[in-house]
């Protein structure tokens, strides 16, 4: 768990940086603290939720921005995977060709023995 944030996506670079950091990292969030907090509970129907969501720039602008960025990164990942697959396929094809040539050479050599 990362200082109480157990459901957080963190980039490998940041994880590496954090693992190399020195010093204390006090826990700031906990279930116990959350339960002890006196926060007013509200009940929402869908209409009220959508209104409140729309009124919050973080709920609309930043969420949309994040979804678009996630989509762009997904397309980049697909292109990278396709490129790597094509390279692997080409390598395998060249290996088969070389193996076939060696077999041909052996067969040609055995004809004269």
Residue 10 located in a structural domain: no
What pLDDT, on a 0 to 100 scale, did the predictor assign at position 85?
94
Is the residue at 65 inside a domain?
A: yes
Q: What is the pLDDT of residue 79?
A: 95
pTM of the model: 0.47
What value does the mean pLDDT take over residues 68-90? Answer: 94
Task: Answer whether residue 30 is part of any domain.
Answer: no
- Token digits of residue 79: 């292109």
Q: Are 51 and 29 in contact (CB under 8 A)?
A: no
Residue 82 domain-assigned?
A: yes
> By C-alpha distance, which of 10, 3, 9 is closest to 28?
3
Q: What is the pLDDT of residue 6?
A: 64
CA–CA distance, 81 with 73 (Å, rounded to integer)? 12
Does residue 20 sit within a domain? no
How would you classify residue 3: left for phi > 0, otherwise alpha for psi between -120 and 50, otherwise beta?
A: left
Q: For residue 5, what pLDDT is reported?
A: 62
28 lies in some domain: no
Please state the domain count of the chain. 1
Contact of 28 with 4, CB cutoff 8 Å: yes
Lowest mean pLDDT among 48-57, 84-93, 102-111: 102-111
Please give the residue range of the domain that contains residue 107.
45-111
Question: Does residue 56 lie in a domain region?
Answer: yes
Q: Is there a domain that residue 97 lies in? A: yes
């Amino acid at each position: 768990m990362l200082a109480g944030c157990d459901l957080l996506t963190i980039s490998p670079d940041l994880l590496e940086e954090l693992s190399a950091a020195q010093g204390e990292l006090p826990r700031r969030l906990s279930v116990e603290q959350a339960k002890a907090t006196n926060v007013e509970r509200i009940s929402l129907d869908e209409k009220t939720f959508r209104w409140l969501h729309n009124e919050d720039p973080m709920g609309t602008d930043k969420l949309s921005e994040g979804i678009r960025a996630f989509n762009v990164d997904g397309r980049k990942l697909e292109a990278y995977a396709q490129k790597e697959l094509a390279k692997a396929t080409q390598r395998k094809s060249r290996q088969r060709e070389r193996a076939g040539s060696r077999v041909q050479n052996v067969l040609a050599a055995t004809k004269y023995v």
